[in-house]
Homo-oligomer: A and B are copies of this chain.
Amino acid sequence: MFERVFSSDNTAGVSPGIVAALAEQAGGRAVPYGADDVTERVTGRLRDVFECELDVLIVSTGSAANGLALAALTPPWGAVLCHGDSHINNDEAGAPEFFSNGAKLVSLPGDDGKLHPDTLAAAVNRGRGEVQSVQPSVVSVTQATETGSVYSLAELGELTGIARGAGLATHMDGARFTNALVSIGATPADMTWRSGVDILSFGATKNGTMNAEAVVVFDRSKTIELRYRQKRAGQLASKMRFQAAQLDAYLTDDLWLQNAAHANGMAARLAHGLASIPGTSVIGTPRANLLFVTLAESTISSLLVDGFSFYRDRWDPTRVRFVTAFTTTEADVDDLLAAIEAASPPPLD
C-alpha cells in the first residue's frame, strides 16, 4: 500500500537509527539539563560539521528555536525583517513576538519566496535612530524557503551583506536546512557563518528526528543570554540527553544528508513526472522537498477522493502543495503521478 500523504514532512516518522540511539540511552543515569556527555558530543559534532567554534542549544520545536534566536538578536523595540510568506510571520502564532517581548515583524515581498536585495536594502535603514520608529535589528532568511526555493550562496551573501552594512544581524530559519544544503551542494560553513549568518535554527525534526532541533550560535556573544532565555522559556529539558541522542544519531554516518537528499530526490521525481502531464505546472523554482503545483480543479477533487492529502484552499483554487519526506518512496511518487495523470482532463486540440 502506498503512502498518500503529501501534506507535510512533519507527518513522517523517525529514522530507525534515531530510535536505536534513544533505546541505548534509556538505562543508566546522567547529569540533567544538558550537562551530560551526549549533549557535549552533539556540540562537538556540530563544531566539526560547521568547521568553527559555536554554541548549541537543543530545543523541542522549530518555533522555540526561532523565537529564542530572534529574541537574542533584537531588542523589544526592534524590527525583524522577513519575507511575508515566512513561517515566523504566519505560522507560529506570534512566537517571535512572545519570545522577543514584542518586537515587530516587518514583512517584505519577494518573488519565489525569497527576499530581494533591493527590498531589503530599502528596509534596513527605515526609521533608524528615530525614537518613534521600531529599529531594524535582524534579517531572518528561510533556507529552504516556504515555497521550496533555495538561496544560492551568492544570494545569501548579498542579503547578509546588506544587513551587516546597516548594523543588523542575520538569522537563518533552517527548518529545512539540510534540504537546502544538499540542494545547492554547499558546505554547512559556507551556507551559514561564512555567508554572514549569526544564529541558525537547525531543523532536524522534519528530516528524521522526533522532537529535537538546535539553535546553532555562531555569534557566541549571545550564548549566555540564550541559556537564560532557554530555561525561562521552558526549553531546557531535564533529560536533555534524549534530545541530544536524536541529534547525535542524526549527524552520524551522514544520516541527515542522506535523508534530505532522498526527500529532495522524491520531489524532483515528482516535478519531472509532472512535466509530461498536460495541464499541470510547477510554480517557481523548487529545489528542495516541496512543490507548489497548478492542477485543474477537477484533478484536485479526484486526488482527494483517492485519499491523497496535501495543502490547498489557502491560495488560488488551482494551486496545491506537495511535500516529500525522507520516508517517501519512489512508488509513492509514481502512485501520485499516476493518479494525477488519470484525473487530468485531456488536452484541448
Contacts and interface: CB of A to CB of B under 8 A. Distances in A.
Contacts of A25: 13-14
Given A101-B76, A205-B238, A233-B233, A26 B19 contact: yes
B94 A232 contact: yes
Given A13-B29, A97-B103, A133 B237 contact: no
Most buried by B among A5, A12, A62, A127: A12
16 contacts: A13-B27, A13-B30, A14-B239, A19-B26, A61-B235, A61-B237, A67-B234, A75-B225, A77-B232, A90-B132, A93-B134, A94-B103, A94-B134, A97-B97, A211-B239, A233-B233
Contacts of A61: 60, 234-238
Interface in A224-254: 225, 227-239, 242-243
Contact of A243 (B127, B211, B230, B235): B211
A98 interface: yes
Given A11-B32, A12-B29, A235 B104 contact: no
Given A13-B27, A92-B234, 10 more contacts: A13-B25, A22-B210, A23-B23, A27-B327, A59-B234, A93-B131, A93-B231, A94-B103, A98-B233, A211-B239
Contact of A211 (B11, B60, B93): B60
Interface of A: 3, 5, 8, 10-16, 18-19, 22-23, 25-33, 59-68, 75-77, 90-95, 97-105, 127, 131-135, 205-206, 210-211, 225, 227-239, 242-243, 327
Contacts of A13: 25-30, 239
A13 B235 CA distance: 19
Q: Nearest 9 pairs between A and B by C-beta?
A: A64-B234, A97-B102, A10-B238, A63-B234, A101-B101, A93-B231, A60-B60, A77-B228, A93-B232
A194 to B, nearest CB: 28
B63 A77 contact: no
Contacts of A232: 76-77, 92-95, 98
A70 to B, nearest CB: 11
A239 B10 CA distance: 6
B95 A104 contact: no
Contact of A228 (B16, B33, B75): B75
